[in-house]
Amino acid sequence: MLKLTQIALTKHSSGFTLVEVAVVVCILGLVLGFGITSTMAYRQIEQQRTTVAKLTGVDAALVDFVTRNRRLPCPADGTLASAAANAGREQRDGAGNCLPGVVTNGVVPWITLGLTEADASDAWYNRITYRVPSGNPGFTQDLSVDMAGCDPAGTAAVTPGPPISCTACTLATLASCTSPANYLASRGLRIEDGAGVILMDPTQGTGAAYILISHGATGAGAYTSSGALLPGTVPPGTAETQNQNGRAIQTTYFDAPMLDATGVTHFDDIVSRPSFMSVISKAQLGPRAAQ
């Protein structure tokens, strides 16, 4: 027969065990919550690193294309699903200019570059946006990317073309050459940092040859493999809106610091924006060395 003291002790022990269980569950919840948060943060960092590697691969393919063709390719049409006939192929007219409708929806022309669609997509499986200057000041016409005839000692203007090219000269008449500065003047894309600082300026001869844009984890303004334009999981910031696909080529693009805050300052785009001199030097089509 149980005594009252035994019953009281049993009740006390049971109550203490429940408290312990509650504490353990609480601690486990905190640990799991921290673990999930850490895992998500790690995954996001890995996705960003993977995307940077994808952009680097596309950059290399574009340099290889320039080496072989002495021009940059036009974009592919982002609105086309993967199985469509012209998906992944540059869309260019007979004069070497990019088709206006395709420029509006331009993505990396993976087939033209000898890549897979996965190579031209970011870590979130969205197609990488590709913007390139077209027309006579641009870089898509035949022989429009070639500074072999330019010389730092030159003072001559460019041959207007199309395409724009260096004015020919000889070693005896170096002053008659086109200088790299004259060749690059007012060409390329303007890039800003989102705070009003100009990073690349065509008026100074430092414009970007092209820009590749991954629209990040939110995907705002990216085309999917089905040809759908994503609105984004959160509203895009002001700079992201300027970078979005599905709109005419802009006078300015943005390479701003990552910022996860909701609102006009949000920015999670990942971009590559090489200078024209960088591309042309890697393609071994740069100007002559100073004499």
Give domain limits for the chain. 19-283
Exposure string for 82-121, b = 16+ CB within 10 A, e = fewer: eeeeebbbbbbeeebbbbeebbbbbbbbbbbbebebeebb
Alpha helices in the chain (DSSP H): 4-69, 100-104, 110-113, 180-184, 238-243, 276-282
- Beta carbons within 10 angstroms of residue 37's beta carbon: 10
pLDDT for 84: 98
Burial of 201 (C-beta count, 10 Å sphere; 0-12/13-18/19+): middle
Length of the chain: 291
pLDDT cut 90: percent of the chain above it: 70
The larger pLDDT score, comparing residue 21 to residue 224, is at 224
pLDDT for 98: 96
pLDDT in tens, 251-275: 999 999 999 888 999 999 999 999 9
pLDDT confidence bin for 4, thresholds 50/70/90: very low
pLDDT confidence bin for 201, thresholds 50/70/90: very high
Whole-structure pTM value: 0.85
Q: Does the pLDDT value for residue 189 go beyond 60? A: yes
| CB neighbour list of residue 119: distance below 8 Å, 6 or more residues apart | 54, 57, 58, 61, 110
pLDDT confidence bin for 34, thresholds 50/70/90: low
Tell me the average pLDDT across 154-163.
Answer: 89
